[in-house]
Structure 1
């Protein structure tokens, strides 16, 4: 069973980037096609080795009128890891990489959300590495192909560990994922929009070092 819930004592800057959201980010950016047939969503998606872009996130909490909003940028290096950097409303950097899930703290230190040998980390790296067989064991999919190369994909968790966190995850896009809507089991909703997606320039040595 996979546990992806965030830790009880969240550090400043961690509330908008909890472990369950990082799980979805890896899923969305690395291998959203899952077990799609050859002429389905998988045929429409590009799977570049490097993907960069910006994001906007709205998280609607139960009982609150206005959503929590954040924005920033990310870098995905397939098979290596994912760097997710929130710029507003406050800076926060999080990395899914060889050492696990690491959050940068305001004092310049690091906080480990999951170590490399954590079961959650195994699936995260399978997502980053586009291990479709492993992913298909975790989710069942319902896909809809639209005109002009667009598509929608609904993911439903198979096991109790995932189901206790997500009710469903819905993705929409074309050659890349452009938007994802996350319905949590507790009723909260998160919408992520990906902006200015590009496959260059290649990662710098400093960027790669963050993932190691």
Structure 2
């Protein structure tokens, strides 16, 4: 009898600690600024070797997304609600606006939603399968249900714990992209002066 009671209590404890998508969204919402390193590996159909790139990423809820590729060549992308700037090396930035390229900004909106686990945006664009993998780990498999996403991707898979650790993109051309994040930093919780300047364009 004692063993049965123990097992029942263990099951209740496990159920109570299971991670949900709402938990992930609340956790991400409590992170106004996230800084991390990234490594991206892209396997293109027909190519023997994957393409590797790496750098730094900054996600600020109040500003947007700053993505700086450092290897194999320098490139910076800055995304906010109405602009996207791409800077190659020391060249002048190329700026695209939401008015001039609305499809690009649909992807911009989506990308920020992925990093912030924005439930509303995800539910509007995907069917989802969320799995608690134990020890605070989770996985979210997204299947596009809106155009043009359903014409480009078969699935987008997110994995993480209190941070987003991995994004895997399976596209309909047979290509596969994996982005892993490490060395997450939440402090300082506000952008520094130098970081604010990254969004001034």
Question: If the length of structure 1 is used for normalisation, what is the TM-score?
Answer: 0.74
CA shift for structure 1 position 122: 5.3
Alignment RMSD (CA, Å)? 2.2
Whole-Å Cα distance in 2 between the matches of residues 200 and 78 of structure 1?
A: 14
Correspondences of 1:145-164 after superposition (within 5 Å): 145-164=132-151
Mark the structure with the bigger radius of gyration.
2
**Structure 2 gap segments, 5+ residues each:** 1-17
SS at match of 2:184: strand
CA deviation digits over 1:144-198, x for unaligned, max 9?
A: 1111111111001111211111111011111111111110111100011101011
Please tell me whether residue 197 in structure 1 is matched to residue 184 in structure 2: yes
CA shift for structure 1 position 132: 3.1
Q: Which has the higher helix share?
A: 2
Whole-Å Cα distance in 2 between the matches of residues 136 and 176 of structure 1?
A: 20
CA shift for structure 1 position 41: 2.6
Please tell me whether residue 206 in structure 1 is matched to residue 190 in structure 2: no
Partner of residue 74, structure 1: 57
**Structure 1 gap segments, 5+ residues each:** 1-37
SS at match of 1:72: strand
Partner of residue 41, structure 1: 21
Whole-Å Cα distance in 2 between the matches of residues 97 and 40 of structure 1?
A: 28
Residue of 42, 47, 60 corresponding to 1:59: 42
SS at match of 2:169: strand
CA shift for structure 1 position 91: 0.6
Whole-Å Cα distance in 2 between the matches of residues 53 and 170 of structure 1?
A: 19
Whole-Å Cα distance in 2 between the matches of residues 140 and 41 of structure 1?
A: 13
Larger relative contact order (CA 8 Å, sep ≥ 6) = 1
The answer on whether the counterparts of 1:80 and 1:128 sit within 8 Å (CA) in structure 2 is: no
SS at match of 2:198: helix
Aligned length in residues: 174
Correspondences of 1:128-207 after superposition (within 5 Å): 128=112, 131-201=118-188, 202-207=190-195
Question: If the length of structure 2 is used for normalisation, what is the TM-score?
Answer: 0.78
With 118-127 and 172-181 compared, the bigger mean Cα shift is at 118-127
CA shift for structure 1 position 54: 0.1
